[in-house]
A = this chain, B = another copy of it.
Amino acid sequence: MRGGMAGKKRSAALSTAAIEMIASRFRTLGEPLRIRIIQELESGEKTVSQIVGAVGSTQPNVSKHLRLLQEAGIVGRRQEGNLVYCYVSDDSVLHLCDAVCTSLGERLGRDARVAAELNRGMGRRR
């Protein structure tokens, strides 16, 4: 048995490595621009330029964030000639985003205008 905390009866705590992996995934999603990018890719793959145009940031910046998303296994890419098409390679993050939208929307309730947006989700109605 690992985890040498002298006998505690709780369900075994996750290892530091596991915890870090979980936190890391959340951290990757913790940037507005990356959420924007993901939302943009939700409707299908797009080239880097298209993403740049859609999210309103600079090309190097988007490129950097795309690399992070790729390294996190969230986004994949496919090169075609001079163009690089990006796509969401892990659908679970879409569910995560949707779950957050829902819970935030519920919390805000009817008083806030943002709530409607959030309740509408990130586009993946079905």
Which positions in A face B, CB cutoff 8 Å?
Answer: 1, 3-5, 7, 10-32, 34-36, 39-40, 43, 49-50, 53-54, 73, 90, 92-93, 95-97, 99-104, 107, 114, 117-118, 120, 122-123, 125
Contact = CB atoms under 8 A, between A and B. Distances in A.
Nearest to A7: B54
Interface of A is mostly: helix
Contacts of A96: 26, 96, 99-100
A21 B88 CA distance: 21
A16 B15 CA distance: 36
A124 to B, nearest CB: 8
A26 B27 contact: yes
B26 A29 contact: yes
